[in-house]
Amino acid sequence: MGQINVVGITASDDRNFNEEVRLLVQKNKVFFGSEKQKESVRDLLREDYQWNLLDNERDISLDHILKEKEDIVIFTYGDPWFYGIGSYLLENVSKDRIQIFAQKNIILTLCHKTYTNYNRLTNINLSGLGWEVLDEVLLDQRSLIGILTDKNYSPDQIANRMQDYGYDNYQMIVGENLGVEGERIRHLEIQEAQDLNFKELNCVLLQKKYHKYHDFGIADLDLKGMHGSRNQITKMPVRLTALHALHLEGKSCLWEVGYGTGSLSLEAKRQFPALKVIGFEREEQCQDLLIKNARNLGIPGVKSIIGDFLDLDLSELPRPDAVFIGGHDRNVKSILDKIHHYLNDNGMIVISTIDNISRESFFKWAAENKYSINYQSCIKVDAYNAVDIISCRKS
C-alpha cells in the first residue's frame, strides 16, 4: 500500500510550497484534486502523471485510495485537519500511511486579517450539519465563534436565526473571497446582516459583546401557557427535580412524551446545550406554543413532532438515553412498552403524575420489565396538586 500525502494550498492557489512538498509533487505520479488545483501545479508534474478530478473532498472514493499501490498526493484547500479530508482519512486509514502538509485555515485567516485574538475561539461547521451546532454554542454563549458556511447556511440566514432567538449580543464579522480577487471584510450588527447579500465563498466570526444573564431554572412567569392559562405549565420545582432524575449529564438524546407548553424540553436544552431534545405532542396548537416560548426564552434546537405517540413511526429518530413522560392519559403501560423498544441500555425513564393509578402502573411495569427504581419524590407547589416524580433505569 502506498503513502497518502495530503497537501493544503491557499484559496488563491499560491503554491507557497516548501522544498519537501515541491519534491513530493515532482516525484509522484497519482494525484487527486480540482481542475483549478491541477493548473496551479501543472509545471511541477511529471509527463506521465495521472490526475483524478475531485471537485469536492466528500466525493473522494476511499476504495480507490485503499486499492492504490503507488504513493498518491491529494490536494485540498487550507488545513486538511480543519473539517477536511484529513480527519476522514484518519478514521479509515492507518495513520502510518498519512502525511499532512497544511496551510492556515480560513477562519484563522479571517482572525489574522481583523486582528482578532483567537485564544478562546470555538469553530463550527454548518455545512451538512445544520443548525444544531450553532444552537449549541449560542446557548453556551461562547465568546468567539468561527463558522464555516455554505449556500444553505449563509451569513444572512445565520443572522436571521440569531435574531429570532434574541442573540443580538454578538457582532458578526464576515470575510468574503479571502485571499482571492474581490476580497471583502465587513463588521456587522446581527440585525444589519439579516438583509444583506454575501458572496458564496465566505466565513463568519461571531464576537460576543456582552453576556445575557439567565436564571438557573426558567421562571414560570416567563412561560406562555395554553389559552393564556398557567395551570398546565410544569412548575419549575417539578421541572428541575425531573431533570435531576433523568441523569442527563453526558447523554446525547432526550425524548419528552406530551410536552404541552414545552417547559421541560426547553429547560433541558438550556441546561444541556449539546443534548438532542425531541418532544412529542398530540395537540397541534402546542407546537406554536413551544415555538413562542423557545423564541421568547432564547432556546433554539428543540424538535417537535405532532401526533399520537403510540401511532408514530420512531425508527428514523435518534434513540433516546432518557425519556420524560409528562402526558399519558393513564395509558402508561402502552407508552412504556413503546419507549422500551427504543431506549438505549442504561437509559432513564421519568414520569410525573398526580394520580395513583398511573403511579402504580409505572411501578408494576418497571418490576415486570426488570427496570430498577432510581428515584421517587412528591412535590406540592402552592395550591396545585401534589406531583409524584418517579424514575427507573433500563438494565
Q: Does 214 fall in a domain? A: no
Q: Are 186 and 322 members of one domain?
A: no
Residue-averaged pLDDT of the chain: 90
Structure confidence at residue 121 (pLDDT): 97
Whether the pLDDT of residue 228 is over 70: the answer is no
Chain centroid to CA 134: 6
Q: Span 192-199, mean pLDDT?
A: 96
Structure confidence at residue 12 (pLDDT): 65
Q: Span 123-135, mean pLDDT?
A: 90
Give the structural domain span for 198: 107-208
Chain centroid to CA 393: 27
pLDDT digits (tens, 9 = 90+) for 321-375: 999 998 777 789 999 999 999 999 999 999 999 989 999 999 999 999 999 999 9
In sequence order, the β-bridge partners of residue 75 are 7
Structure confidence at residue 40 (pLDDT): 84
Q: Are 143 and 90 members of one domain?
A: no
Q: Are 83 and 120 members of one domain?
A: no
Domain stop point among 181, 208, 235: 208
Q: Does 379 fall in a domain? A: yes
Q: Does 317 fall in a domain? A: yes
Q: Does 126 fall in a domain? A: yes
Structure confidence at residue 279 (pLDDT): 97
Q: Are 233 and 365 members of one domain?
A: yes
Q: Are 254 and 354 members of one domain?
A: yes
Whether the pLDDT of residue 13 is over 60: the answer is no
Structural domain total, the chain: 3
Task: Please tell me the distance from the alpha carbon of residue 9 to that of residue 179, in angstroms, as a whole number.
Answer: 11
pLDDT bucket at 84, cuts 50 / 70 / 90: confident
Q: How many CB atoms lie within 10 A of CB 311?
A: 8
Structure confidence at residue 204 (pLDDT): 98
Structure confidence at residue 183 (pLDDT): 93
pLDDT bucket at 59, cuts 50 / 70 / 90: low
CATH number at residue 119: 3.30.950.10
Q: Are 244 and 386 members of one domain?
A: yes
Structure confidence at residue 385 (pLDDT): 84
Q: Does 213 fall in a domain? A: no
Domain stop point among 60, 84, 103: 103
Task: Please tell me the distance from the alpha carbon of residue 256 to that of residue 249, in angstroms, as a whole number.
Answer: 16
Packed helices 263-271 and 284-297: angle between N→C axes, nearest 10 degrees: 40
Q: Are 115 and 237 members of one domain?
A: no
Q: Span 291-320, mean pLDDT?
A: 96
Q: Span 91-120, mean pLDDT?
A: 90
Helix or strand or coil: residue 39? helix
pLDDT bucket at 229, cuts 50 / 70 / 90: low
Give the position of cell 480543519. Answer: 82
Share of residues in the chain with pLDDT > 70 (%): 94
Whether the pLDDT of residue 193 is over 60: the answer is yes
pLDDT digits (tens, 9 = 90+) for 246-300: 999 999 999 999 999 999 999 999 999 999 999 999 989 999 999 999 999 999 9
Task: Please tell me the distance from the alpha carbon of residue 137 to that of residue 63, in angstroms, as a whole number.
Answer: 36
Q: Are 181 and 224 members of one domain?
A: no
pLDDT digits (tens, 9 = 90+) for 130-142: 899 999 999 999 9
Helix or strand or coil: residue 75? strand
Q: Does 215 fall in a domain? A: no
CATH number at residue 24: 3.40.1010.10
Structure confidence at residue 231 (pLDDT): 65
Q: Does 389 fall in a domain? A: yes
Angle at 168 between CA 230 and CA 134, to 5 degrees: 85
Q: Are 71 and 171 members of one domain?
A: no
Domain stop point among 103, 136, 166: 103
Contact 178, 216 (CB under 8 A): no
C-alpha dihedral sign at 55, 61, 66, 69: negative
pLDDT digits (tens, 9 = 90+) for 14-31: 667 888 988 999 999 999
Q: Are 192 and 58 members of one domain?
A: no
Structure confidence at residue 323 (pLDDT): 98
Whether the pLDDT of residue 68 is over 80: the answer is no
Q: Are 370 and 227 members of one domain?
A: yes
Contact 325, 257 (CB under 8 A): yes
Task: Indicate the pTM of the whole model.
Answer: 0.86
Helix or strand or coil: residue 114? coil
Q: Using alpha carbons, select from 329, 374, 328 the residue that is nearest to residue 347.
A: 374
Q: Are 287 and 374 members of one domain?
A: yes
Query: What are the helix and strand counts (H, E) for the chain?
Result: 13, 17
Q: Span 211-224, mean pLDDT?
A: 92
**Strand 170-176 with 184-189, pairing:** antiparallel
Structure confidence at residue 82 (pLDDT): 82
Share of residues in the chain with pLDDT > 90 (%): 65
Task: Please tell me the distance from the alpha carbon of residue 271 to that of residue 236, in angstroms, as a whole number.
Answer: 13
Q: Does 161 fall in a domain? A: yes
Packed helices 132-140 and 155-164: angle between N→C axes, nearest 10 degrees: 50
Task: Please tell me the distance from the alpha carbon of residue 273 to that of residue 267, in angstroms, as a whole number.
Answer: 10
